[in-house]
Chain A
Amino acid sequence: MKIVAICGAGIGTSGILKVNAERVLNRLGIDATVVACDLDSLTAESDDAQVILTGPEFLTAIGRTFADVIVVENYFDTEELSDKLQRALG
Chain B
Amino acid sequence: MALPPLPDDGVQLGATAADWRAAVALAGAALARTGAAEASYADEMERMIDEHGPYVVIAPGLALAHARPGPEVLRDGLSVVTLETPVPFGHPYNDPVRVIIGLAAGYATHLSVVAALANVFNDSDAVERLAAAASPGEVRDILGAPDDYPSEPLDVA
Interface residues of A (CB under 8 A from B): 7-13, 15-16, 18-20, 23, 36, 38-39, 55-58, 61, 73-78
Contacts and interface: CB of A to CB of B under 8 A. Distances in A.
Interface of B: 48, 51-56, 58-60, 64, 66-69, 92-94, 103, 105, 107, 110-111, 113-115, 117-118, 121-122, 124
Given A19-B111, A76-B58, A8 B92 contact: no
Closest 5 CB pairs of A and B: A57-B53, A8-B52, A15-B114, A75-B58, A12-B66
Contacts of A18: 111
A15 B68 contact: no
Given A36-B111, A76-B122, 6 more contacts: A7-B55, A8-B51, A9-B48, A19-B115, A73-B94, A75-B58
B111 A56 contact: no
A58 B91 CA distance: 12
20 contacts: A7-B52, A8-B51, A11-B66, A11-B69, A11-B107, A11-B114, A12-B56, A13-B55, A13-B64, A15-B114, A19-B111, A19-B118, A20-B118, A55-B58, A56-B92, A57-B52, A73-B94, A74-B93, A75-B58, A77-B59
A71 B122 CA distance: 18
Contact of A11 (B55, B92, B105, B121): B105
Nearest to A54: B55
Contacts of B114: 11-12, 15-16, 19
A31 B130 CA distance: 35
Contacts of B117: 16
Contacts of A8: 48, 51-52, 55
A61 B51 CA distance: 11
Candidate in A12, A18, A76 with the most chain B CB atoms within 10 angstroms: A12
A15 B53 CA distance: 18
